[in-house]
Amino acid sequence: MQRRTPVIIDTDPGVDDILAILLALASPELEVKAIIITFGNTDVDAAYLNILKLLKTLARQFESDSCSSERFPSLSPHTKIILAKGTHGPLEGDLHSAQYFHGRDGLGDMDKRHPDLNVDSMDPEVYPNLLLTDKPGVEVALDIITSEAPRSLSYIALGPLTTFAQLVRQHGDVVKSRLGQVVCMGGNLDVPGNTSAVAEFNFFADPFAVKELLTPSLPAEGFPLDRFILLPLDVTTPHEIPFPYYKAHIDPEFEGTAQPSDATKKAPLVHFTSAFLERTREVMLLFGKDAMELHDIVAVWCAVENPPPSDEDLAAATSTPVLREKWKTVRRRFQVERYGEITRGMLVVDRREDEGAYDPGANRAAVQAELQRNQFHSDGVMESNAVPAQVEVEAPPTAPEESSAEGVPVITSTPGPAMLLSLLTSRIWGINIA
């Protein structure tokens, strides 16, 4: 088997984050070194408690069924995962959270519905696999990056990029020379947003960090993009776990209604996952979907299957990272909107050169000509309202656009939603679907 990839998970748990962390802990390809909590879906303190709740549940699970501990290689008796707090708010601008979706506690108000899962103790004995520290997340990450072999570590960013941006601000040289790669869930390019009409939550929550890392004014100030992998909503959204599937295979008692379900017959881990999925199902049904989208889980899966590139990979690669079969990337160029009244966090793609952007012509001049011909023969739409106002011919791109000239490697294809669903089911819950 390949060498296990050491990873740091930077996260704002969050319902999909918790499943993503479970997948990481249950993946023999990864060795989870630290979990760094950032603001995001909820506030840092609530998010921190969610990791304690998860680890307390897993300790209970292993007590009630010792075999199940074998499914979680990152939780062997001799290892401790460092749990630290990262940033509490964005580099600049207002603080936003997604409690409308994830609940006040970040886990679908599980703390009120299932108080038996709450934690009231910071006693290290309760969390045999955790090392709780007051050290700032940035310092914890730096220590791990310097102590692991050069270029061996994957940094998995599942929340706003703020903590990572601070790390690069404060220790850029070390991070750039020693970190293996960053795998990041965030943004949306050719599909609508999920927090606003145009923005995905993580990039909405701190567009300043996105700008600094991915499209800096001077390229040398960002992170080397040949070691950065972005998973935007475009590719993550089709991956989901349908709730009827969850009920059929994982928890027959699962309802997802206003009534908390009865925990007595369930294994501790199933009780825990059902407890936070109940309200998630209610919310998703309001959105018209009886499934949960697996955004962050796809990012962890990508890190599972794609260890950091070796020097040979980097030398051989023409422009995009070398990935396992069925994973594909393309380089995409964009700018990120930071101050927009209604477009904060939007990834702005310059489509003026994109031949597919205008129909029927290959370019704007051809569209104009076509419209003029049509109008001449009919009383149809006028050119002025058929297409947006005349585009000014602008000077060639200036510095900020050139800085992202190479573009950010963006995942466009995975081995597929069905593969992920069966992997998740067998690794987290130990259930193999034929």
Ligand X SMILES: *[C@@H]1O[C@H](CO)[C@@H](O)[C@H](O)[C@H]1NC(C)=O
Which positions lie near ligand X, rule CB under 6 A?
14, 16, 41, 101, 185, 194, 200-202, 293, 295-296
Smallest distance from the beta carbon of 185 to ligand X, in angstroms?
A: 5
Rounded to a whole number of angstroms, the CA Rg of the chain reads 23
Specify the 3-state DSSP secondary structure of 30: strand
Smallest distance from the beta carbon of 418 to ligand X, in angstroms?
A: 21
Between helices 44-64 and 268-286, what is the axis angle to 10°? Answer: 140
Asked whether 5 and 29 are in contact (CB, 8 A), the reply is yes
Smallest distance from the beta carbon of 164 to ligand X, in angstroms?
A: 15
Helix ranges (DSSP H) in 79-161: 99-102, 110-113, 137-147
Q: State both tokens at 277.
A: 């999925």
Smallest distance from the beta carbon of 122 to ligand X, in angstroms?
A: 27
Give CA–CA dist 54/322, Å, rounded: 34
Would you say 181 or 194 has its CB closer to ligand X? 194
Tokens 């979680």 identify what position? 72
Would you say 153 or 297 has its CB closer to ligand X? 297
Smallest distance from the beta carbon of 325 to ligand X, in angstroms?
A: 26
Smallest distance from the beta carbon of 227 to ligand X, in angstroms?
A: 21
Return the bridge partners of 332, or none: 408
Give CA–CA dist 313/295, Å, rounded: 27
Smallest distance from the beta carbon of 33 to ligand X, in angstroms?
A: 22
Asked whether 29 and 2 are in contact (CB, 8 A), the reply is yes
Give CA–CA dist 286/394, Å, rounded: 44
Q: State both tokens at 156.
A: 């998995």
Give CA–CA dist 314/240, Å, rounded: 32
Q: State both tokens at 32.
A: 């989870």
The amino acid sitting at 297 is I
Q: What angle do CA 214, 38, 122 make, to 5 degrees?
A: 155
Q: Count the alpha carbons within 13 Å of 98 in the hemisphere toward its beta carbon.
A: 30
Smallest distance from the beta carbon of 244 to ligand X, in angstroms?
A: 19
- The alpha carbon of residue 403 and the mean position of all alpha carbons in its chain are separated, in whole angstroms, by 24
Would you say 1 or 286 has its CB closer to ligand X? 286
Would you say 41 or 50 has its CB closer to ligand X? 41
Give CA–CA dist 237/330, Å, rounded: 18
Would you say 62 or 201 has its CB closer to ligand X? 201
Asked whether 30 and 304 are in contact (CB, 8 A), the reply is yes
Would you say 41 or 329 has its CB closer to ligand X? 41
Would you say 107 or 267 has its CB closer to ligand X? 107
Pairing of β 328-332 and β 291-293: unpaired
Would you say 26 or 199 has its CB closer to ligand X? 199
Smallest distance from the beta carbon of 276 to ligand X, in angstroms?
A: 12
Would you say 226 or 337 has its CB closer to ligand X? 337
Would you say 79 or 196 has its CB closer to ligand X? 196
Would you say 201 or 254 has its CB closer to ligand X? 201
Give CA–CA dist 198/193, Å, rounded: 4
Cβ neighbour number for residue 419 with a 10 Å cutoff: 14
Specify the 3-state DSSP secondary structure of 369: helix
Return the bridge partners of 408, or none: 332
Smallest distance from the beta carbon of 250 to ligand X, in angstroms?
A: 20
Smallest distance from the beta carbon of 46 to ligand X, in angstroms?
A: 15
